[in-house]
Amino acid sequence: MQTGENDQAMRKILDMTRLISIFILLLHFYVVCYGAFAGWHLVSGLTDRLLGNVVKTGLLSSFLKPKFLALAFLAIALIGVKGKKDEKQTWKTAVLYLLVGLLVYLASWLVLQVKLTMAVAASLYMGVTGLGYLLMLSGGTMVSKIIRDKLSGDIFNRDQETFPQEERLLENEFSVNLPAKYVLKGKVRDGWINFINLFRALIVLGSPGSGKSYFIIRHVITQHIRKGFAMFVYDFKMPDLAVIAYNTWLKYKHVYKVTPKFFSINFDDLSRSNRCNPLDPSAMLDLTDAVESARTILLGLNREWIKRQGDFFVESPINFLTAIIWYLRKYDNGEFCTLPHVIELMQADYDSLFTLLSTQKEIDVLINPFISAYKRDAVEQLEGQIASAKITMARIASPQLYYVLSGNEFTLDINNPQEPKIVCMGNNPQKIQIYGAVLSLFTNRLLKIINQKDKLKCSLVFDEFPTLTTDIIPTISTGRSNLIATTLGIQDASQLRKDYGREQADVIMNIVGNMAVGQVSGDTAKSVSEKIGRIMQERESLSINRSDTSISRSKQLEAAVPASRISALSSGEFVGMVADNPDCKIELKAFHSEIVNDHAALKKEIDGYVPLPEVRKINAAIVERNYLQIRQDIRDIIELEMERLLNDPELSHLVIRKTA
């Protein structure tokens, strides 16, 4: 405890120490310059006797010994000096004074080597030595005035915003483990980002160029294939991720109990694309499957409808498309139940179309409003209900899409233990709206098929997820028990809200257990900062007034990673949280690390990749022939069904004729 008496006693001790230093230096001057003092008549018998006694102690036995002893007492005196703080004082100035003073203090003996009169030499020696002494005294006093604080050394508060992170490698048969390095109190340490439970889903956020694919998503693909996962990859920029998946499959397909097959969907390169029917009748078990498929495709082609679900002119086209899908599912045991056949049947004239649909009793409730409007001659209402669906679906009526969607080379049950698959589906940034709608249909059908018991563990990887209109929430919520790991790549939460609506976007963001976030800003950065939480940080405050300077230190809870820090993350630098397991607890779930990629090894690996295989030789004539065959199939169905109904008296009443 500091009191006035203690401070006064300390000052007296320091003053005494400084006086001893000066006294020893004066004795040294008296001995070295004794001849000059004698010439100045400043000696006496008494002082000589006292000096003789001092000499006997050995204090003045050498030239430098008393100078060093005086310097030592001066240093002791300076250690305890408490000068008034001055924010203008710097270490550079203080050290300069000390070094120059020490140099002058020790080099003053050179004066005695110059041939001068005894009086002049003595005067110069004492003056130079005294100057060096005073410079050191001034430098030491300056040191005591320097404000010792951390405010100017860490202006961005980086050291205080560091926290301990997981340094253990925690691996299991489902995990994805990323080596990383992080900073703790100014020191770089090695750590691991352990996604040991991706069945609780992983969301990867980051603006373009932040490193989502290169630092995280590619490792999810490679490590999961290496551990025997079935896999679905949505590759927004085909074939970037598809090539990684294919080459990893080539390298590790032997680790599976049943060797999986590799398939890809690529609408831009038909020679490297497999054919698959998303409306496969074997997987469409009841009318609800048709409803989901119709909703997915129409909402994918009309993104603004997502926020208007429930409106009459949104639900009517969905019901109309559902009826057509279910009709083709039931007709001839689903032989013509493909999306191209659905599109072509929609274009039929109303007499024929409504007649065919009315033969299926299960869809009566769906088509009755349309037939009633048609019979009442409510043309505006009918066109408002149907035309939007017909016009929308016509966007994907291209021979290339027809070719891919009308085949059935594989089914979407990728996690079938007897027939595991690795499926890559590619989009094209220039054709997002068209391809995205079709791929959304694929993914929705796939999610419904794979989310079942007793299936193989599987991994779903969605790059640029908002470009799809996929209801991923049920899979994230219930897929954990069925060993479905989901990875979503998103640029920003606002992008998700734009395409899915605020409510659905918030649900997706909040139910995901694992989170890795690169550079994002705005509300997303604030939300992520809040999720990571707060840590105890030291704070300093500096107060300077005329009489005193005070520095106060305190501790308080502050954001571990502020939103401003998230907005300034470098490529490859991520913050986030990991989820753990009951049998493997992780105390340090939060991370703020730079993921360590072996760039040279990855470049060598990428250079060795082989391109996706060519599935078949194909030309424009084959594609065009398939397109014409689908149109002919629909004409044949209409003609055969109309003929059958007209020739059967019991069914002829179903034929709809609207007179002009």
Residue 548: pLDDT band with limits 50, 70, 90: low
Rounded Cα–Cα distance for residues 627 and 647 (Å)? 31
Task: Give CA–CA dist 345/332, Å, rounded.
Answer: 15
Rounded to 5, what percent of the chain is helix, strand, coil? 55, 15, 30
Spell out the residues 6+ positions from residue 89 whose beta carbon is closer than 8 angstroms to its own.
Answer: 142, 145, 146, 147
Q: Domains for the chain: give ranges and CATH numbers.
A: 4-145 (no CATH), 154-212+223-234+254-260+419-429+449-601 (3.40.50)
What is the arithmetic mean of pLDDT over 78-83? 67
What's the pLDDT at 188? 93
Task: Look over the chain and give the mean of its residue pLDDT values, rounded to a whole number.
Answer: 85
Contact residues for 321 (Cβ-Cβ < 8 A; gap 6+): 294, 297, 298, 342, 346, 389, 393
pLDDT at 148 over 70: no
**HEC string for 193-212:** EEECCHHHCEEEECCCCCCH
Q: What is the pLDDT of residues 402-413, one digit of tens each?
A: 999 998 999 999
Residue 519 has pLDDT above 50, yes or no: yes
Nearest C-alpha neighbor of 69 from the set 21, 30, 139 = 21
Given a cut of 60, whether residue 1 has pLDDT beyond it is no
What was the pLDDT predicted at 158? 73
457, 230 Cβ separation under 8 angstroms: yes
Q: Mind listing the pLDDT tens digit for each residue in 309-325?
A: 777 778 888 888 999 99
CA-CA distance, 51 to 27, in Å (whole number)?
Answer: 8
Return the higher-pLDDT residue of 589 and 538: 589
**Helix residue ranges, H only, 543-619:** 563-566, 599-607
Supply the pLDDT for residue 175. Answer: 94
Least confident interval from 23-32, 55-64, 629-638: 55-64
Residue 462 CA: distances (Å) to CA of 227, 229, 243, 435: 19, 16, 15, 15
Separation of alpha carbons 434 and 238, rounded Å:
15
Omega prior to 281 cis, within 30 of 0: no
Contact 388, 375 (CB under 8 A): no
Residue ranges of alpha helices (H) inside 451-590 are 473-478, 493-500, 502-511, 522-532, 563-566
Q: Is 46 buried (19+), middle (13-18) or exposed (0-12) by CB count in 10 A? A: exposed
pLDDT tens-digit profile of 610-630? 999 999 999 999 999 999 999
Higher-confidence residue of 50 and 127: namely 127
> What DSSP letter does each residue of 473-484 carry, written as one string?
HHHHHHGGGGTE
**Is the model more confident about 461 or about 106?**
461
